[in-house]
Structure 1
Amino acid sequence: MIQLIRISDDLPDGFDALLADAASEGVGHMARLAESWASGGQRFDRDGEALLAALLAGDLAGVGGLSIEPAAAEPARRVRRFYVRPAFRRQGLARTLASALIQEALDQVDLLTCNAAASPAAAPFWQAQGFSPDTSGPWTHVLRRSRG
């Protein structure tokens, strides 16, 4: 069973293994997360922000963050620091984590952005979650809450 928890005080147990997996794949944003967390630079603790951990059978399988999007002309959020460990992929975990972040963002604002340039699999994944390609800002994809 997939369990999502909000990270607030410390990075979760198992983060070192997640960090090592990311580094072995050449993914640097988990190291940036660790550095900014340690320095207090970004803790996802402002209103509208969140950092979630995804656990599978009690093991840390992935993380994903939601922050304020400073580059948008309207109030917006950005999905960032999103990573699922290779051993836990293809089990619905990324979709569950993304869905929680999307729901939280679109409960607050009409626009959500992400940068899917980190890996070749990222763009198709985010498009499957409803994002559209968009390079009008420092992002690669956007999701807009539908009115209706």
Structure 2
Amino acid sequence: MADISLERMADQLPTGFADLEADAIADGHRHMTRLATELTEIPAVFHAIYACYLDGRLAGIGTMTDEPALAGQPTWRMRRFYVHRAFRRRNVAKAIATALLQNASGSVSTVTVHAGNQTAARFWEAIGFRRVAGLAWSHERTMPDATNARPT
């Protein structure tokens, strides 16, 4: 069984990020490059950043920010989420998502994501997000203690 560990990041990229970014680019995604830029230029935008390691190697990363679209209620978006292709289907994405959701609990009433493809949509739905239409995000999850959410 592989050893999964999570590290909450603050103001720097995790060790091994260059390999993760290169894999994302090779997979047709530029959001790891955007993450690196945002962390340098506007680090305060992130409520949380979690890096996940599998057997000591950076396997994935995910972040939480304010939902950039008008939402009408306290809402955060899970974004800049990527799992290295060599580590997929090994609970890395679920570990990152769980940590980010725990971080949001009690702070907001809704967490959103934008699933970029059907595989991602199935993942988000499997962990409790529901598909929505006509919004700036594809899926959302109502937080269980939304009545205690404080404005963000």
- Distance in 2 separating the partners of 1:100 and 1:21: 23
Q: What is the alpha-carbon distance in structure 1 between the residues aligned to residue 106 and residue 53 of structure 2? A: 24
Whether the 8 Å CA contact 1:106–1:112 is kept in 2: the answer is: no
Helix, strand or coil: the match of 2:118?
Answer: coil
Which string of whole-angstrom CA distances, capped at 9 and with x for unpartnered residues, describes residues 37-85 of structure 1?
23x13x2x35x71011001111111000011114211011110000000
Q: Normalising by structure 2, report the TM-score.
A: 0.86
Equivalent positions of 1:81-120 (< 5 A) are 81-117=80-116, 119-120=117-118
Residue-by-residue CA offset, 1:74-120 (whole Å, 9 max, x unaligned): 01111000000011111111111111111211231111100002x33
Cα distance between partner residues in 1 of 2:105 and 2:137: 17
Q: Which amino acid aligns with 1:32?
A: R
2:17 corresponds to 1:23: no
Alignment map for 1:48-59 (pairs within 5 Å): 49-59=47-57
Partner SS, residue 49 of structure 1: strand
Where 1:9 maps in the other structure, the secondary structure is coil
Shift, 1:146, TM fit:
3.8
Question: Which runs of at least 4 in structure 1 moved beyond 6 Å after TM superposition?
Answer: none
Contact 1:4 1:53 in 2 (8 A): yes
Query: Counterparts in 2 of 1:3-22, with a 5 A limit?
Result: 3-22=5-24
- What residue is the counterpart of 2:150 in the other structure? none
Identity of aligned residues (%): 41
- 1:136 deviation in Å? 3.8
TM-superposed CA distance for 1:135, in Å, is 2.6
Equivalent in the alignment of 1:145: 143
Alignment correspondent of 2:126 = 128
Unaligned runs of 5+ in 2: 148-152
TM-score (norm 1): 0.89
CA-based RMSD of the aligned residues comes to: 1.8
1:9 Cα offset (Å): 2.5
Q: Which amino acid aligns with 1:20?
A: A
